[in-house]
Amino acid sequence: LAPWIPVVGLEIHAQISSNSKLFSGSQVQFAAPPNSLVSFFDASLPGTLPVLNRRCVEAAVMTGLALNCSINKKSLFDRKHYFYADLPAGYQITQQRVPIAVNGSLSYSLCTDNKMGQMVTKTVRIKQIQLEQDSGKSLHDDTRSQTLVDLNRAGVGLMEVVMEPDMCCGEEAAAAVRELQLILQTLGSSQAVMAEGQLRVDANVSVHHPGEPYGVRTEVKNINSMRFLAKAVDYEIQRQIEELESGGTILNETRAFDSKLGCTVPMRDKEGKQDYRFMPEPNLPPLILYDAKSLPANVNHQQVINIDWIHERLPDLPSVKREKLVEQYGILPEHSFTLLNEDGLAEFFETVVKQTQMKPKKVIGWILNDLLSYLNQHSLTVKESPVSSFLLADLLNLLEKKEISSTAAKRVLAELWKGEGKTPLEIVKEQKLELLQDQKELEQICQAVIDGQEKE
């Protein structure tokens, strides 16, 4: 059987972290009472007009710069028409013709199969980033044959990040999305929490034989966790291969991921091709951005965005942070990945290092092997850790000063984990775990043991 090459592209919708929506002043907030965050414009009351939110544009520019994109100094807004209960105006305002950022790239890393630890870096091209409105939510109540519509989310700003089909499997897709998520969170342009719907991923999947043109692709939607992303993509790849090998064909359709069954199913109401009747949004002039060179002299700074100014103020991206950790502390690259992967872990590690004489290379072992495994076992975040960085530092200091053995230290940690408020020193005293340093005392004990043995 000829080998198959799977091809995976992604369309990622990231909710912009802002106080108000993309085109109106209503608040952005998760889980508010239904229809309590809806302005006249969001409800599409006739006569209302969109007004662009500056913060959302800045978020998109930051994200574009972080992803090595060219920022379009002039971008346009369009209307994308379709009828649906959660789209009050009957159209979504998006950027179809000229989006705000294009032609970028994202580097991400994977653990290779062979040994635990070896990492390989891959790159995926970013086709574009566009600003667009989120839709409301509709809940189907089949028992009463009705649909309940909540417009709180309608109009919230989204950045759609389009990743070219440079990935080949679920693992790569998940790693790429994970890295994007970290970048967004570092920038603050999106909180990117998948569980709260702030990061939604649609996967475009196809398979083909080497040397042949790309196969028909399907779009997999409704993936709302990182775990499911890898599963959904891999399932779909497998499904397509099986279908094609048994002589079937792949339909260019939209499928939903059913997390309970672990498979993809066709989506009922997305049959047939939609003609969105794109039209320029007449109520929004072209979006003009400036850089230091093109910035006009007498201008109201409230009304303009300077790309260079934003660039200068970008924080260190995850890849840079990792490099710095490796360089500063002498830890391994794969360690730096784990540190950044857990929210707050890198800070925890650095705080411990500052407060202990133990070398960072040794501290990292305690962080990644001991602390992290405790946290994972109990499904706790770093913030929720009953063992604070100070406590751990204290403990490691005892170990470093050779006042306890490393076996004893592990026992103390277990005790600390109970969170009873005792200090490491107190626990050591309680359990009599002190290392005997006194040569004479040791000799006496050994002699006693030998003597005891002789008697028997």
Partner 1 sequence: LSQVSAALKEGRVTPTELCQRCLALIKSTKFLNAYITVAEETALKQAKESEERYKRGQPLGILDGIPVAVKDNFNTAGIETTCASNMLKGYISPYNATVVQKLLDQGAVLLGKTNLDEFAMGSGSTDGVFGPVRNPWSYSKQYKEKSVPKSHSEDEDSNWVITGGSSGGSAAAVSSFTCFAALGSDTGGSTRNPAAHCGVVGLKPTYGLISRHGLIPLVNSMDVPGILTRCVDDAAVLLGSLAGHDPKDSTTIQDDFKPFELPNLTDVSKLSIGIPKEYHAPGLSSEILALWSKAADLFKNAGAKVVEVSLPHTRYSIVCYHVLCTAEVASNMARFDGLEYGHRSDKKESTESMYAATRREGFNDVVRGRILSGNYFLLKQNYEKYFVKALKVRRLIANDFMKVFRSGVDILLTPTTLSDAAPYMEFIQEDNRTRSAQDDILTQAANMAGLPAINVPTALSERGLPVGLQFIGRSFQEKQLLTVAKWFEKQVQFPMIQLEEVKKHDNSVFQHQKSASFS
The reply on whether position 377 binds partner 1 by CB under 8 A is: no
To the nearest whole angstrom, how small is the minimum distance from the Cβ of residue 333 to partner 1? Answer: 48
Residue 319: both structure tokens together: 């890849």
Q: How far is it, in rounded angstroms, from Cα 71 to Cα 93?
A: 20
**Residue 412 burial by CB count (10 A; 0-12/13-18/19+): exposed, middle or buried?**
buried
Q: How far is it, in rounded angstroms, from Cα 218 to Cα 244?
A: 14
Nearer to partner 1, 260 or 268 (CB): 268
The reply on whether position 83 binds partner 1 by CB under 8 A is: yes
Q: How far is it, in rounded angstroms, from Cα 96 to Cα 131?
A: 9
Q: How far is it, in rounded angstroms, from Cα 393 to Cα 406?
A: 14
Query: Of 174, 197, 195, 199, whose CA–CA distance to 184 is shortest?
Result: 199
Query: Of 49, 43, 95, whose CA–CA distance to 74 is shortest?
Result: 95
Q: Which of 10, 89, 363, 375 binds partner 1 (CB under 8 A)?
A: 89
Residue 255-294 contact track with partner 1, rule CB under 8 A, x = bound: --------------------xxxxx--xxxx---------
Q: Which of 4, 27, 73, 85 binds partner 1 (CB under 8 A)?
A: 85
The reply on whether position 147 binds partner 1 by CB under 8 A is: yes
The string of DSSP letters for 163-180 reads EEEEE-SHHHHHHHHHHH
The reply on whether position 305 binds partner 1 by CB under 8 A is: no
To the nearest whole angstrom, how small is the minimum distance from the Cβ of residue 352 to partner 1? Answer: 51
Query: Of 75, 70, 65, 80, whose CA–CA distance to 99 is shortest?
Result: 75
Residue 32-51 contact track with partner 1, rule CB under 8 A, x = bound: --------x--xxxxxxxxx
To the nearest whole angstrom, how small is the minimum distance from the Cβ of residue 391 to partner 1? Answer: 54
Residue 392: both structure tokens together: 């751990």
Strand partners, 200: 13
The reply on whether position 361 binds partner 1 by CB under 8 A is: no
What is the CB-side half-sphere exposure of residue 19 using CA atoms within 13 A? Answer: 3
| Count of chain residues binding partner 1 (CB under 8 A) | 32
Q: Which of 55, 73, 81, 208 binds partner 1 (CB under 8 A)?
A: 81
What are the C-alpha distances in Å from 353 to residues 146, 241, 362, 396, 426? 58, 50, 10, 10, 22
The reply on whether position 3 binds partner 1 by CB under 8 A is: no
Q: Which helix (H) or strand (E) holds 140?
A: strand 137-141
To the nearest whole angstrom, how small is the minimum distance from the Cβ of residue 295 to partner 1? Answer: 17
Q: Which stretch binds partner 1 (CB under 8 A): 75-83, 182-190, 332-340, 418-426?
A: 75-83
To the nearest whole angstrom, how small is the minimum distance from the Cβ of residue 293 to partner 1? Answer: 23
To the nearest whole angstrom, how small is the minimum distance from the Cβ of residue 169 to partner 1? Answer: 33
To the nearest whole angstrom, how small is the minimum distance from the Cβ of residue 278 to partner 1? Answer: 7
Nearer to partner 1, 90 or 330 (CB): 90
Q: Which of 145, 249, 379, 453 binds partner 1 (CB under 8 A)?
A: 145
Residues within the interface to partner 1 (CB under 8 A): 40, 43-52, 79, 81, 83, 85, 88-91, 145, 147, 149, 275-279, 282-285, 303
